[in-house]
Structure 1
């Protein structure tokens, strides 16, 4: 409950018509006593006092409302919901109680319910400034950015706390691609409160997303100097270094290794003695992520989880409120589904430990929804890093394994990982193509009479070095165009930056097509305007590479120095197109020019790529599920035998070998040794391509 006074909102509930008029209500002096405790931010004492009010005056909505507010402040969200329900049963016309219920549902991970209660609050009291601000937050979570912005402005107009309004508007300026206004907003906030680490982190993220890495690092450093325990800024700083072409793999590795010494735990990690440590038990696998939805994580793990061999059950811990068709598919794969956004790092660790999870997957890494401190508490006997912010080693001793493949992590790379690597025989992910994928149209060059190059990757991955190499390609293809598409291109300032850099390299603005974002199907359909996709460096594409292939567009890549730089390489090799993975800028340019110079060949490739991708290991959920299941059983078996984690190699046939010592663990129980999925033997040569088309 806000301590601010709303013009038409009363702290005393107005009796509902169905309530008995004679019902006892808390007298003014007791309400005043509660408000003194609450405004002094003594929320524990205020909660105890509010509980006494509900006992003395059980039919007074005020007591239940303020109890709900205190419970919410103290992190007891479910209990807060129950108390607020009691208040609203007594008086449904209390705008503040409706608003508190909206906040509660928001933290419980149900934006639909949150929006309904927020709208009720504003229907009852249109000038309720805090209600407008809350609705802005809920709408932001739901992706309705313009409507959210309108309510944030209304909250500011009605006198809601200015700093909160500016911060919300700053976030929304970024979501709307209004980067100049976002920058001005954050600069204003920092000038007023220069020591606020959250403002510094936010403006640093903005500079990172715009590819201005030196400015980003300056603000990350300032935030970390002010608060050395501020994990978010340091995590974002590490991500930023992966985008920066001036950073070597060795430099990034040593920066990552600083995490453990910088952030100490305030408790001893959990010790584990499983009630059932049988090697053939049903393994309880936990998944912690903000991406269990239409997101690279959801699209890369969904089909694999649906196709596991049995002997395991999944328990999801989602730090994001979104619920879409991928979320629904994932829910069907899980034994339990927990919305944990409201839990702090230690509380989440305690919940996972109480749930007796055997193998815990971190699917966030240093990125959105990061819960690295939760992982550091070691809430499960075995912790594995997989997709979701998987850009490098995590550098933390709590992580036992990292799920990879032989292309993402070549044999020479083990020393750059603190985890033990599990190398799958094919791709380390399993891509799920959407069922609404548009049909592939004819090669654009056939009717344009010029080649259209394209890149739909996150523009944070685009830098001056890369633009310079792309410009050389465009000079070799004098009539070519370059189509770039993402949210950043909604900003005229950012577009001017791209045009200016390319002009320096001799490419005129009329050869550049810069477009803002589209809904997913429209984005995929935009590939029908692209002949050849150019991958980014040193941070490569991942999901975008799979999507380009699905739309018949070949992607040319040059692997970078880290895990983040080799996503495209593993997808392309596993899709049967190793020729598109280059080893130098000269070869990168040569490969693009070769493709562009043979239009009939490029046209046939376009017609074949979707089928190749779908038939390849990249999309073979059954095969991936088999290898995944084998790997999980092997690491659990090692744990049950009292062995430490070691690097493992999974074979095509389902065997598991220690990479040192070559110990064989045998086949996964119930494993069908007959290959169940179609093998694809794909080559870039046209005759071979046509032979494999069905």
Structure 2
């Protein structure tokens, strides 16, 4: 017997009137006689969902769609209940089923878009929102949500158009205003963004997202105090708002107040103990403080809470690499690459591969090729470049995150200063997030300075195109916050990789610059770029305030030293050092890099590996204290011989050692990254320190210690050789670079 229409009508009226409890009571009473009536099940399940009784609602609505699989309302309400219960995958399936039954209902596509967005499948979510708008062109929330997704995807210009169209369809809403403000922040129209967020807050003072978004806009304007005020207000309005906690903490951390940042993260975890995001940023801050074990624990917890958290995985791998856990670093990267690759993840994995001594040249090539293929497939077709006249000065764009106190800055600032301004106009595109005095020096030397740190890769490419750049030079693209994917979008007619240590993996990167030592003809290493060779590659000014050398040569047993980044110190090189110390039992080895060796775990792992290869107790010394540049260089006065790491050799570190008159023993291999020190040594007349094999590396180091007095007497001579060499001739080096620029532009102009 069917349920009387009057009862169904009454239940529906109760729901519409907001009498949810009464509707549930009526449905429960009626279901005692009619337990499986689809219409009644739909009303009952909908009422349970509206009352927040998600589990019974899902049971009821699941029964409804089983009995009436063609009832689109049942599938829609089941999808809503599943999404509210956090069962997003099932919600997506429910909405897709509803869409298959009634493809012309805009609300179904909209709900599907929301579920896909919650699932993290933004491409599919954008497609669903686009379908919603096609079915209902006045659907403002679909426009707004699509705009949010476009902004996150780096398509802020398209997002701005959508938000403005949504605003034009009805009265202003604070939510759409602040979303539009976010798009303008991404487009670097910061004053407009601040005004829009302010209008949103004036309309709805408790809109927590608007306060947070205003904080981000103020931060982008450099107004750190105002940004902090905004983040604080957001936290006051919603104490469990994770993003605002992170914003406050990162401001503290960036200003050197790590204790306050850590306190915020820990307080936030007491409120939201299952937040992978907070554990990730906690791990980042602890790592920066060299609190390695707590940092490692926080990152492991972040990954346990969110196994797809790519940046936590990359950071943990880097942490493992620089603290001597090389096997764990490799395993975690290999595992994540199979699960959820992304451009940033693959770029970081590519960079970390350069430190590994357990992969072949062919395996390294495959890692770089995977990065290039992923980026190119992700981008698809690129925008066509406008035709540019072959006019002088040629506009040379330099793209880097390292326009700051950094080794790349020590190489490039003298070059930018030395450019012939009649022939070359330097445009600097800065991804630098921590500006300093060196940043100001770069800015003063630029024909045009563009802060693009908050722009997407696509928007940076558009900015470069708009400036009419002839040649784009991507600096050290493997490292830091550099943005090689900009080049994949063909931002300029000619694109060059400079100061990188391996291929970019990108077909759109036209050239890579090195010298004949870094890039020997007939080498086995894989490059997507055409190779350009300078007479010699490394160049820098002699360090300022170089400490004086000892008046009299030091005495005592020989002392080896390595002041390189610990991630470069692989099991291979630790074993060779152990062999060296075993053959020189009176010698010592000093290891120093910032304050990294304050970590007891790192010291213990390195000590164990070196001793396992033959070193005796007491032969290894660690310096864990932070030191200024000058103080660090002065430590070379207590060192006799520098030992270069392998396979990632020293560059700036080797130059500094040579500047202090210290001989450097190096072992070049089959890759560009292993040959930097060898290239320098040949320029200062010390080719005899370049080993031809691991055994030769040990022999050269042992022999150098055996003739340590000879090397102690030669320190001033080595320093003078460096100063007089082409390594310090910035003007000549820049002229050679400019000749390459002219040659590649002529080649491009002639097709």
The interval holding the TM-score normalised by the smaller chain is 0.7 to 0.9
For the pair shown, which has the larger CA radius of gyration, 1 or 2?
A: 2
Aligned to 2:365: 253
Distance 1:79 1:54 in 2: 24
Aligned to 1:106: 219
Aligned residue number for residue 102 of structure 2: none
Number of residues of Structure 1 aligned to a counterpart in Structure 2:
591
Which is bigger in relative contact order (C-alpha 8 A, separation at least 6)?
1
CA contact (8 A) 1:451 1:531 kept: yes
Aligned-partner Cα distance in 1 for 2:660–2:251: 34
Pair 1:239-2:325 in alignment: no
- Equivalent in the alignment of 2:449: 337
Unaligned stretches of 5+ residues in structure 1: 1-34, 57-62, 643-694
2:416 corresponds to: 305
* Partner residue in 2 for 1:18: none
* Residues 255 and 81 of structure 1, relative CA distance in 2, 3 Å threshold: same
Q: Secondary structure at the match of 2:399?
A: strand
Matched, 1:184 2:272: no
Q: Report the alpha carbon displacement of residue 314 of structure 1 after superposing the two structures with TM.
A: 1.0
Does the 8 Å contact 2:514/2:533 carry over to 1? yes
Instruction: Please give the residue correspondences for 1:266-285 in structure 2 after superposition, counting only pairs within 5 Å.
Output: 266-278=379-391, 281-285=392-396
Cα distance in 2 between the residues matched to 1:135 and 1:208: 29
Q: Measured at CA, do residues 514 and 66 of structure 1 come closer, stay the same or move farther in structure 2, by a change above 3 Å?
A: farther
Query: Counterpart in 2 of 1:289?
Result: 400
The 1:268–1:452 alpha-carbon spacing in structure 2 relative to 1, beyond 3 Å, is same
Q: Does the alignment pair 1:420 with 2:517?
A: no
Match in the other structure for 2:578: 471
The answer on whether the counterparts of 2:667 and 2:693 sit within 8 Å (CA) in structure 1 is yes
Matched residue of 1:482: which SS?
strand
C-alpha contact (below 8 Å) 2:642/2:657 kept by paired residues: yes
**Aligned equivalents of 1:421, 1:202: Cα separation in 2:** 32
* 1:438 and 2:547 aligned: yes
Task: Name the structure 2 match of 1:491.
Answer: 599
2 CA distance for matches of 1:358 and 1:144?
43
Name the CA distance, whole Å, in 2 between partners of 1:307 and 1:492: 45
Query: Are residues 1:371 and 2:483 paired?
Result: yes
1:512 to 604, 609, 620: 620
In structure 2, stretches of 5+ residues that fail to align are 1-139, 149-158
- In structure 1, what is the Cα distance between the partners aligned to 2:146 and 2:272? 22
Deviation for aligned residue 1:634: 1.3
* Closer/same/farther in 2, CA of residues 83 and 323 from structure 1, 3 Å limit: closer
User: d(CA) in 2 for partners of 1:463 and 1:117?
Assistant: 42
**Relative to total residues, which structure has the larger helix share, 1 or 2?**
2
Q: Using the TM superposition, give the Cα deviation of residue 522 of structure 1 relative to its aligned residue in structure 2, in angstroms.
A: 2.8
Aligned to 1:67: 177
1:401 touches 1:422 (CA, 8 Å); kept in 2? yes
Contact 1:156–1:162 (Cα < 8 Å) also in 2: yes
1:173 aligned onto 2:286: yes
The offset of 1:638, in angstroms, is 1.6
Give the corresponding residue for 1:587: 696
Deviations 1:583-635 (A, max 9, x none): 12333233323332334422222223333212211111111111111111111
Sort the Cα spacing of 1:626 and 1:522 in 2 relative to 1 into closer, same or farther, 3 A: same
Residues 1:357 and 2:445 are matched in the alignment: no
Q: What is the aligned counterpart of 1:84 among 183, 194, 198?
A: 194
Task: Return closer, same or farther for 1:477/1:415 CA change in 2, 3 Å cut-off.
Answer: closer
475-484 vs 505-514, which deviates more? 505-514
Is the Cα–Cα contact under 8 Å of residues 323 and 601 in structure 2 kept in the other structure? no
CA distance in 2, matches of 1:85, 1:492: 51
What is the CA-CA distance between 1:301 and the residue it aligns to? Answer: 1.3
Q: CA deviation at 1:401?
A: 1.1
| Residue 314 of structure 2 is aligned to residue 201 of structure 1 | yes
Whether contact under 8 Å (1:146, 1:176) holds in the other structure is no
Task: Quote how far apart the aligned CAs of 1:143 are.
Answer: 5.3
Q: 1:217: which partner in 2?
A: 330
> Secondary structure of 1:525's match?
helix
Q: Quote the Cα distance in structure 2 between the aligned partners of 1:161 and 1:75.
A: 30
Cα separation, partners in 2 of 1:126 and 1:478, compared to 1, 3 Å = farther
Counterpart position of 1:315? 427
- Aligned equivalent of 1:530: 639
Find the partner of 1:149 among 255, 258, 262.
Answer: 262
Q: Where does 1:15-26 land on structure 2 (aligned, <5 Å)?
A: none
Query: CA, structure 1 residues 580+142, in 2 after alignment: closer, same or farther (shift >3 Å)?
Result: farther
Higher mean C-alpha deviation, range 557-566 or range 498-507: 498-507
Give the Cα–Cα distance (whole angstroms) in 2 for the partners of residues 51 and 528 of structure 1. 68
TM-score (norm 2): 0.71
Matched, 1:459 2:569: no
Q: Find the partner of 2:724 among 581, 597, 615.
A: 615
**Hey, what's the Cα distance between the residues in 2 that align with 1:65 and 1:436?**
55
- Give the direction of change, closer, same or farther, for the CA distance of 1:145–1:509 in structure 2 (3 Å limit): farther
Shift of 1:363: 1.0
Indicate the RMSD between aligned Cα atoms, in angstroms.
3.4
CA deviations 1:399-448 (Å, max 9, x no partner) are 1111111111112228733322211112x1321334243333357842xx
* Partner SS for 1:329: helix
Q: 3-state DSSP class of the match of 1:501?
A: helix
CA distance in 2, matches of 1:569, 1:403: 17
2:609 is matched with which residue: 480, 501, 521?
A: 501
Q: Is structure 2 residue 708 aligned with structure 1 residue 596?
A: no
Shift in CA distance, 631/205, structure 1 to aligned 2, threshold 3 Å: same
Would you say the 8 A contact 2:348–2:478 is kept in 1?
yes
TM-score (norm 1): 0.77
Q: Deviations over 1:98-139 (max 9, x none)?
A: 75444224345x3xx224531686599889866553132134
CA change 1:575–1:50 in 2 (3 A) is farther
Q: Which residue of 1 aligns with 2:538?
A: 429
